[in-house]
Structure 1
Amino acid sequence: MMYIIIIAAIVIFWLLVLDRPVLYVHFKGGQLVKVKGHLPVTLKHNLTEIGHHSPFNGYLKAYQRREGIRLKFSPSVPKSIQQRIRNVFPFNGLKKSGIEKKKKH
């Protein structure tokens, strides 16, 4: 019985505490250094353009919430750059994985 409680505690800890963004993009000098998750081609192009015009260092994380997608930036990303990224980010078009599931009608 005790092992079930321990396993349940570990599962709850894993679900609540671990950082699991849908999309992670790391920038260095305005260049995209590391990408984890599905990055749409148009967003990649827009992020490259933003970084080319005003180089910066930091990261962007996108989390899937019930209300929609929430963006989180590192503190080193300037507020003006954050707003430019929010303006071009496809909040409705971001897929959770590389394969889009079709809904049955």
Structure 2
Amino acid sequence: MGYFLLISFAIFLAFMLIDRPLLVIAFKDGQLVRHKGKVPKGFLHDCQDIAKRHPFTGTVKVYSNRFKPAKVVLSRSIDHRTQQRIKNVFPHQSFK
């Protein structure tokens, strides 16, 4: 019984610690390096436009939540003005 609880706790902990975003967009010096997941074309185009005007290095991740439609998480290396621009063009309707 003790082994079962220990193994189930370890599996639960591993499940909670794994990073599982819906999509990931990575930029380096204003250039798109990679994207993973189903990215809306308009959002990808807008992010590339922002990166051309204000070059930055970092990642944009989108997480799904049970109670909220989607959560945008931006890396700390992106300055706050650029973060706000990306959040403004994020299509919340695409992630319901």
Q: Same fold (TM over 0.5)?
A: yes
Q: 2:69 matched to 1:68? A: yes
Structure 1's consecutive aligned runs of 4 or more residues displaced over 2 angstroms after TM superposition are 1-4
State the identity as a percent. Answer: 36
Q: How far apart in 2 are the matches of 1:14 and 1:22? A: 18
Query: Which residue number corresponds to residue 37 of structure 1?
Result: 37
Structure 1 unaligned spans of 5+: 96-105
Query: Which residue number corresponds to residue 94 of structure 1?
Result: 95
Structure in which a larger fraction of residues adopt helix: 2
Which sits farther off after the overlay, 81-90 or 13-22? 13-22
Please report the TM-score for the alignment, with normalisation by the length of structure 2. Answer: 0.87
- Output aligned runs, 1:14-33, within 5 Å: 14-33=14-33
Q: How far apart in 2 are the matches of 1:94 and 1:26? A: 19
Structure 2 unaligned spans of 5+: none
Q: How far apart in 2 are the matches of 1:94 and 1:16? A: 22
Q: CA RMSD in A?
A: 1.5
Q: How far apart in 1 are the matches of 2:72 and 2:5? A: 34
Q: How far apart in 2 are the matches of 1:39 and 1:10? A: 33
Deviation, structure 1 residue 13: 0.9
CA deviation map 1:18-73 (0-9, x unaligned): 11111111110111101111111111111111111111111111111122211111
* Matched residue SS, 2:93: coil
* Count of residues in Structure 1 that have an aligned counterpart in Structure 2: 95
Please report the TM-score for the alignment, with normalisation by the length of structure 1. Answer: 0.80
